[in-house]
Amino acid sequence: MKLFKKLLFPLLAVMMVFTACSKKDNDGPSSTSHKVVFKAFGSSDVQISSAVYGYDTELTSVSSLSGTTWTSPEVNVPAGALMAQAVVTATGTSAASSLKVEVWVDGVKKDEASSTGTALVAHPAANLR
């Protein structure tokens, strides 16, 4: 499980950078700034362990988390940003363990992702255009 965490965390961070950099030809940057919050909720048998969150390539990593819930500090996203996203990892005790991660933009839930099992990873992403 330790090897899983050591390999998964950097891989997910790289994946987020490539996802944030992808862009369709007809999509433009946001013309306004946004306030973004990321929220994670695990079932009672889940321990949240780490998170990478932010916008575009401006990412913050936190590790050594514990507990069944986590909320990021409010992120002030400048105009011109394309995407807000998070990757949260957790460990569950059974196949029924669950994790849900949400992206809130300006007080509105824009996306959510979930995972079940003993090795949990959820990656929601909200388009800011």
- Mean pLDDT (the chain, rounded): 86
pTM: 0.80
Q: Is residue 79 part of a domain?
A: yes
6: confidence class by pLDDT, cuts 50, 70, 90? low
Q: How many residues does the chain have?
A: 129
What's the structural domain count of the chain? 1
- Interior CA angle at 124 toward 108 and 2, to 5°? 140
Domain that holds residue 59: 2-21+31-127
Q: Is residue 111 part of a domain?
A: yes
Q: In the numeric block, which tokens belong to residue 75? A: 């992120």
Q: Is residue 89 part of a domain?
A: yes
| pLDDT over threshold 80, residue 122 | yes
42: confidence class by pLDDT, cuts 50, 70, 90? very high
pLDDT at site 51: 98
What are the start-end ranges of the H helices in the chain? 2-21
pLDDT at site 129: 86
Q: Is residue 121 part of a domain?
A: yes
DSSP state for residue 67 in the 8-state scheme: S
Please name every residue paired with 77 in a beta bridge, in sequence order, or none if there are none.
Answer: 34
Q: Is residue 26 part of a domain?
A: no
pLDDT in tens, 71-96: 999 999 999 999 999 999 999 999 99
Q: Is residue 17 part of a domain?
A: yes
